[in-house]
């Protein structure tokens, strides 16, 4: 089956202006790899889920597919046409075929526009219909389809007269009125009250059946994605960690990140309830993604080849010191000297003050507490007054097919 929309090796980078201090320290390479060589193909009639924590690049990928953001590299094909290099003029006739619904209906609806005008606006912009009566009839029809009935009761209202759920229905109606084939739904129920979320999701499914729509459904919530999606891609820091049909992934997730996300879904059955917690640590800065597998610093199953690097050692020492009491902390601190006075050169880090043997001993203890990182250390050497630690090189794990899905993790090596 030919995909409705297909991205190959898609990259979207944003240039950022790091702080002066960042630049002095050589930090922040000046851009964020919001989407980093992602390939996905969405088939007609499918609900394709994009899942991951905040900052993983879901919105950027969705907006890039619609060419609302220009890709840095890679290709996008929509309805058989390579639209990668289309400018806004060339995109214009396609815009009515591909629409987006955002998370926050308050931000996407103009408070000064009556519902009838808001909903029929795209018809005017695309020159599909004009004339007050025609636009009004089209708006009436589409409001009916999204369950705002009787539609006449809504036409003259303003967004502020409506509830959150009703506003989102209006945003959906506006996206549908040009009869698109492809809709990006960017966390469409995340801002709504619990009580109306299920109703809006059911509406989206009904609309898909009625109108032969194809969805890219973006969510940070795996439970919602399970209910809705035929296939899913789990994203982490701009990359796909696991991708495939929902059923095998939910039945037996392979990537440790997917496993952690699934374990964090609250269980409705209290006897099966467990601690809903994602792996330790914050999501790293996307401008300086971790080497190797980007998830390795937080991964409960990491091993030596996952991409351990100098800054992981600094983080481990800081974590250790956070648990120490005054006296032992002071002892270790003075042995190591100023922790911020380290130098990183490629895969090597040099640190320590004037007592290198103590520093080396301390590093040994830290590594003993982190066996995976310890495995990745090639050498710990005393060099003049300081200690240098050299890490083995590591590569980003590529996606491999395992048990009916693709997964990017060194735990699943090639045959
Ligand atoms: N316009 C932008 N300029 C600079 N950085 C951006 C921009 N939009 C998104 N980013 C960065 O790109 C990364 C991915 O963001 P986003 O696509 O919004 O992720 P998600 O939707 O998964 O939360 C984040 O690090 C974010 O800060
Ligand atoms: Mg987002």
| CATH code for position 250 | 3.40.50.300
Q: Are 333 and 258 members of one domain? A: no
Residue 300 lies in a domain: no
The mean per-residue pLDDT over the stretch 328-332 comes to 85
> Hey, whose CA ends up nearest to atom 10 of ligand 1?
34
> Hey, whose CA ends up nearest to atom 5 of ligand 1?
14
User: CA–CA separation, 268 vs 191, rounded Å?
Assistant: 21
User: CA–CA separation, 240 vs 235, rounded Å?
Assistant: 4
> Hey, whose CA ends up nearest to atom 11 of ligand 1?
34
> Hey, whose CA ends up nearest to atom 13 of ligand 1?
34
Predicted pLDDT of residue 280: 62
Residue 287 lies in a domain: no
Q: Are 87 and 218 members of one domain? A: yes
How many beta carbons lie within 10 A of that of residue 362, not counting itself?
A: 21
Query: Residue 69 has what DSSP assignment?
Result: S
Q: Are 12 and 137 members of one domain? A: no
Q: Are 74 and 113 members of one domain? A: no
Residue 214 lies in a domain: yes
Nearest atom in ligand 1 to 235's CA:
22
Residue 282 Cα to ligand 2 midpoint, Å, equals 17
Predicted pLDDT of residue 267: 66
Residue 376 Cα to ligand 2 midpoint, Å, equals 34
Pairing of strands 239-245, 31-42: unpaired
Taking the CA of 287 as reference, the closest ligand is 1
- How far apart, in Å, are the Cα atoms of 265 and each of 50, 223, 224, 245? 16, 7, 10, 19
Residue 47 in this model has a pLDDT that exceeds 50: yes
Contact predicate 211/268, CB 8 Å: no
**Nearest Cα to Cα of residue 259 among 308, 316, 298:** 298
Residue 233 Cα to ligand 2 midpoint, Å, equals 14
More confident residue, 282 or 302: 302
Q: Are 166 and 219 members of one domain? A: no
Q: Are 93 and 155 members of one domain? A: no
Which of the residue ranges 165-169, 279-283, 391-395 would you say has the lowest mean pLDDT?
A: 279-283
Residue 396 lies in a domain: no
For residue 215, the cross-strand partners are 47, 183
Q: Which two tokens stand for residue 56?
A: 């993983």
Nearest atom in ligand 1 to 186's CA:
21
User: CA–CA separation, 135 vs 124, rounded Å?
Assistant: 8
Residue 331 lies in a domain: yes
**What percentage of the chain reaches a pLDDT higher than 70?**
93
Q: Are 366 and 415 members of one domain? A: no
Residue 105 Cα to ligand 1 midpoint, Å, equals 20
Distance of alpha carbon 350 from its chain centroid, rounded? 34
Domains contained in the chain, number: 3
**CA dihedral angle for residue 170, residue 165, residue 105, residue 84, rounded to 10 degrees:** -70
Residues bordering ligand 2, an ion, CB closer than 5 Å: 59
Q: Based on C-alpha coordinates, what's the Rg of the chain?
A: 26
User: CA–CA separation, 219 vs 217, rounded Å?
Assistant: 7
> Hey, whose CA ends up nearest to atom 18 of ligand 1?
59
**CA dihedral angle for residue 326, residue 332, residue 334, residue 335, rounded to 10 degrees:** 170
Residue 363 Cα to ligand 1 midpoint, Å, equals 36
4-23 CB burial, b ≥16 within 10 A, e <16: bbbbbebbbbeeeebeeebe
Predicted pLDDT of residue 19: 65
Q: Are 261 and 352 members of one domain? A: no
Which of the residue ranges 42-56, 238-252, 306-320, 327-341 would you say has the lowest mean pLDDT?
A: 327-341
Residue 397 lies in a domain: no
The full length of the chain comes to 415
Nearest atom in ligand 1 to 286's CA:
25
Q: Which residues contact 384 (CB under 8 A, 6 or more apart)?
A: none
- How far apart, in Å, are the Cα atoms of 57 and each of 33, 118, 295? 9, 29, 14
Residue 310 in this model has a pLDDT that exceeds 50: yes
CB-side exposure of 138: number of CA atoms within 13 Å?
A: 23
Residue 229 Cα to ligand 2 midpoint, Å, equals 18
Residue 79 lies in a domain: yes
Taking the CA of 13 as reference, the closest ligand is 1
Residue 63 Cα to ligand 2 midpoint, Å, equals 10
For residue 231, the cross-strand partners are 48, 245
Rounded to 5 degrees, what angle do the CA atoms 141, 206, 113 make? 40
User: CA–CA separation, 64 vs 69, rounded Å?
Assistant: 5
Residue 379 lies in a domain: yes
Backbone conformation region of residue 257, classed left if phi is above 0, alpha if psi is from -120 to 50, else beta: alpha
Task: List helix spans (H) across 126-163.
Answer: 132-145, 152-155
Predicted pLDDT of residue 272: 52
Q: Are 1 and 90 members of one domain? A: yes
Residue 277 in this model has a pLDDT that exceeds 80: no
Q: Are 175 and 188 members of one domain? A: no
User: CA–CA separation, 316 vs 306, rounded Å?
Assistant: 16
pLDDT tens per residue, range 333-389: 887 777 778 899 999 999 877 788 888 999 999 999 999 999 999 999 997 888 999
Q: Are 39 and 92 members of one domain? A: yes
Interhelix angle 326-336/356-369, rounded to 10 degrees, is 120
* Confidence band of 329 (pLDDT split at 50, 70, 90): confident
Range of the domain at 271: 1-97+184-195+207-281+402-415
Q: Are 88 and 138 members of one domain? A: no
How many beta carbons lie within 10 A of that of residue 322, not counting itself?
A: 8
Q: Which two tokens stand for residue 374?
A: 């310890």
What's the pTM?
A: 0.93
Q: Is residue 336 helix, strand or coil?
A: helix
- Burial class from Cβ neighbours inside 10 Å (0-12, 13-18, 19+) for residue 277 reads exposed
Ligand 1: residues with CB < 6 A are 14, 16, 32, 34, 52, 54-60, 286
Mutate to test the pocket of ligand 1, among 33, 36, 60, 234 (most ligand atoms within 8 A of CB): 60
Strand order in the sheet with 377-383: 343-345, 348-351, 386-391, 377-383
**CA dihedral angle for residue 333, residue 337, residue 343, residue 349, rounded to 10 degrees:** -50
> Hey, whose CA ends up nearest to atom 6 of ligand 1?
14
Q: Is residue 127 helix, strand or coil?
A: coil
Nearest atom in ligand 1 to 53's CA:
22
Residue 20 in this model has a pLDDT that exceeds 70: no
């Amino acid at each position: 089956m030919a995909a409705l929309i297909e991205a190959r090796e898609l990259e979207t980078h944003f240039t950022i202006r790091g702080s002066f201090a960042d630049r002095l320290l050589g930090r922040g390479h000046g851009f964020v790899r919001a989407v980093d060589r992602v390939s996905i193909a969405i088939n007609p009639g499918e609900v394709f889920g994009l899942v991951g924590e905040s900052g993983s690049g879901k919105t950027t990928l969705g907006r890039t597919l619609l060419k609302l953001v220009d890709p840095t590299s890679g290709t996008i094909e929509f309805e058989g046409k390579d639209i990668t290099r289309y400018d806004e003029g060339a995109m214009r006739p396609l815009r009515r075929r591909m629409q987006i619904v955002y998370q926050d209906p308050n931000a996407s609806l103009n408070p000064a526009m009556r519902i009838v005008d808001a909903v029929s606006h795209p018809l005017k912009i695309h020159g599909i219909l004009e004339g007050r009566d025609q636009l009004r009839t089209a708006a009436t029809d589409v409001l009916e389809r999204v369950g705002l009935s009787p539609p006449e009761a809504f036409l003259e209202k303003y967004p502020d007269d409506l509830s959150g759920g009703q506003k989102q229905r209006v945003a959906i109606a506006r996206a549908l009125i040009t009869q698109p084939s492809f809709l990006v739904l960017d966390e469409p129920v995340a801002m709504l009250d619990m009580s109306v979320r299920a109703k809006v999701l059911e509406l989206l499914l009904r609309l898909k059946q009625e109108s032969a729509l194809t969805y890219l459904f973006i969510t940070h919530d795996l439970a919602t994605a399970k209910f809705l999606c035929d296939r899913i891609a789990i994203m982490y820091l701009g990359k796909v960690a696991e991708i495939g049909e929902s059923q095998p992934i939910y039945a037996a997730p392979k990537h440790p990140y997917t496993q952690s996300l699934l374990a964090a879904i609250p269980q409705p059955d209290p006897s099966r309830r467990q601690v809903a917690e994602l792996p330790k640590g914050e999501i790293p800065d996307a401008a300086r993604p971790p080497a190797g597998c980007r998830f390795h610093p937080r991964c409960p199953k990491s091993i030596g080849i996952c991409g351990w690097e100098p800054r992981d050692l600094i983080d481990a020492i800081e974590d250790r010191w956070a648990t120490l009491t005054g006296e032992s902390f002071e002892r270790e601190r003075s042995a190591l000297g100023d922790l911020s006075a380290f130098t990183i050169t490629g895969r090597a880090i040099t640190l320590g003050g004037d007592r290198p043997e103590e520093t080396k001993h301390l590093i040994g203890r830290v590594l003993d507490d982190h066996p995976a990182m310890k495995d990745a250390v090639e050498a710990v050497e005393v060099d003049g007054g300081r200690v240098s630690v050299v890490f083995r090189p590591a590569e980003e794990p590529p996606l491999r097919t395992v048990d009916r899905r693709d997964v990017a993790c060194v735990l699943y090596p090639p045959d």
